[in-house]
Amino acid sequence: MDRLNSAAVAQARDRVPVAAFAVMAAGVSAALHLGKLPPAVPALRDALGIGLVEAGFLLSLVQVAGMTLGLAVGLMADSLGLRRSMVAGLALVTLASAAGALVQPGPHALAMLLALRALEGVGFLLAVMPGPGLIRALAPPAAEKAAMGLWGAYMPLGVALALLAGPPFIARFDWSGWWWLMSAVSAAAAAWVLFIVPGDARRLAAKGAAPDWGKRLSNTLGAPGPRLLGLAFAVYSAQWMAVIGFLPAIYADAGIAAGLTGVLSSAAAAANIVGNLAGGRLLQAGVSPGRLLRWGYAVMLLGSVAAFAQWGHGADAWSLPAPVRYACVCLFSLGGGMVPATLFMLAVRLAPSSSTVSTTVGLMQQASSLGQFFAPPAVAWLAMRAGGWQWTWVATMACSLAGMLAAMRLAHLHASSSGARTSSSP
């Protein structure tokens, strides 16, 4: 009987708690707002007369909060309260999405959507930045890796679900109905977090006073590791969002039916989840972070060139067959998934101290948002100048090469920090 009780206790310790799943659902619901726009771009262009570059800014404006507040939220999330921050973020995206559904065609429609999209960016940041800290606090040590692996997939999962469900839903209920649905989903996620995740008071009392924020900020910005992590994350997320974000528009321009467009786009986004999980398994198996980063960027480079490159001009132009190009887009997304899995692991190792891990992640988020803000409009401008998407690979190649250079330097820093920890051990 004692052995049975011990086995039951061990099994319970290995189980991810329901509260951690509520946090995961909150992250996915926030990511749905990030991914809700791409399938709506054709409908917005028809209903409101929004151009391709303007659609690119709608795609990227959600990142304004991350560009400006990522580091600050990383510094202050613990003192603000993790659950409180997540619920406030979900409430903000809920209200902004509901207000967006009320926008009517007119001269001010674009400005209103842009402003509301920026508010959604603030809510997104408040909702997702506390996620890792909450999961670490909620999950038992034996289940922490499994829970953090689930959290690492919140972004591609949310975007994939939006890309899959968006086109058929928008075809029946229009883009405003899609905005209402996303508002309801995030409201439900906020209610679940409030109902099941413990409050912040006990956790804050146990932690006591936080270290001086000014010292944490200066230590983080002064260290090379966080800066390189930010660069590596920026060039990854910039090209991934530019390619995946415009897939519905690319396939719509090619005359593909809306339902099939959603399936193709969501499958390409979901490939990133496989890459995240594979990256974690490879790291656990002993593959070095620097090598895994180089593999990820190399696959993104090769996949984007094969997917978009076109040889020749006019009627004599030639590219790979459409099924092969789509497979290369999926490969691009899958290979890219290995990058964030590796960078979040390195953030723990290369942060200046244990008290600056969240600040380092905040800096990474800020750099990532910066890349995601500028990349979609830049790729859209390139497509307009070229008369098609055949030069998209130029932008993705530049990002991948920059990522490979950052990976080499990060590998050196990681080896140095590992050697220092080994030599200091008794």
> Most confidently modeled of 24-38, 120-134, 317-331?
24-38
Radius of gyration of the chain (CA): 22
Tell me what pLDDT residue 210 has: 54
User: Which range among 4-18, 64-78, 152-166, 279-293 shows the weakest confidence by mean pLDDT?
Assistant: 4-18
Q: Are residues 274 and 135 in the same domain?
A: no
Q: Which residue has the higher pLDDT, 128 or 182?
A: 182
Q: Are residues 126 and 261 in the same domain?
A: no
Residues 238 and 140 in one domain: no
Top mean-pLDDT range of 130-134, 339-343, 417-421: 339-343
Same domain, 219 and 362: yes
Mean pLDDT of 110-117: 88
Read off the pLDDT of residues 63-113 as tens digits, 9 standing for 90 and up. Answer: 777 788 788 777 776 567 778 889 999 999 999 999 999 988 877 888 898
- DSSP result, 391-420: THHHHHHHHHHHHHHHHHHHHHHHHHHHHH
**Distance separating alpha carbons of residues 377 and 373, to the nearest angstrom:** 8
Q: What is the dihedral of CA 416, 418, 419, 424, to 10 degrees?
A: 130
Judgement on whether residues 250 and 375 belong to the same structural domain of the protein: yes
pLDDT band at 145 (very low <50, low <70, confident <90, very high): low
Domain boundary among 182, 205, 228: 205
Give the highest mean pLDDT range of 11-15, 89-93, 371-375. 89-93
Length of the chain: 426
Out of 178, 205, 232, a domain closes at: 205
Lowest mean pLDDT among 38-47, 202-211, 222-231, 259-268: 202-211
Which residues 6+ apart lie within 8 Å of 252 measured at CB?
Answer: 41, 42, 258, 261
Residue with tokens 């490939």: 271
Residue 198 CA neighbour count, 13 Å, CB half? 12
Residue 8: burial class (beta carbons within 10 Å; 0-12, 13-18, 19+):
exposed
Question: What pLDDT is attached to residue 4?
Answer: 40
- Does 288 share its domain with 196? no
Residue 4 lies in a domain: no
Give 394 or 416, the one with higher predicted confidence: 394
Residue 94 falls inside a structural domain: yes
- The boundaries of the domain holding residue 187 are 15-205
Q: Do residues 234 and 181 both lie within one domain? A: no
Name which residue leads in pLDDT, 214 or 226.
226
Considering only residues 358 and 39, tell me which one the structure prediction assigns the higher pLDDT.
Answer: 39
Instruction: Name the β-bridge partners of 318.
Output: 311
* More reliable by pLDDT, 39 or 190: 190
In terms of domains, do 191 and 337 share one?
A: no
Report the pLDDT value the prediction gives residue 6, as an integer from 0 to 100. Answer: 45
Residue 423 has pLDDT above 60, yes or no: no
Enter the tokens of residue 327. Answer: 């497979």
Q: Give the chain's domain count.
A: 2
Give the model's pLDDT for residue 16. Answer: 64
Residues 234 and 196 both lie in one domain: no
* Alpha helices (H) along 197-285: 200-207, 213-222, 224-253, 258-284
In this prediction, residues 340-358 reach a mean pLDDT of: 79
Residue 423 lies in a domain: no
Domain end, chosen from 205, 224, 244, is at: 205
DSSP class of residue 314? G
Residue 154 has pLDDT above 90, yes or no: no
Does residue 238 register a pLDDT over 60?
Answer: yes
Task: Check residue 2 and give its pLDDT.
Answer: 46
pLDDT band at 399 (very low <50, low <70, confident <90, very high): very high
* Calpha distance 391→401 (Å, rounded): 16
**For residue 95, what is the enclosing H or E element?**
helix 82-101
166 and 266, same domain (yes or no): no
Greatest Cα pair distance, the chain, in angstroms, is: 78
Mean pLDDT computed over every residue of the chain: 82
- pLDDT score at 176: 92
258 and 366 share one domain: yes
Tell me if 199 is assigned to some domain. yes
Range 188-198 average pLDDT: 94
Task: Assess if residue 1 is contained within a domain.
Answer: no
* Residue-wise pLDDT tens digits, 23-34: 989 999 999 998
Do 240 and 339 lie in a common domain? Answer: yes
For residue 301, give the CATH number of its domain: 1.20.1250.20
Region 7-35: mean pLDDT is 76
Is 10 among the domain residues?
Answer: no
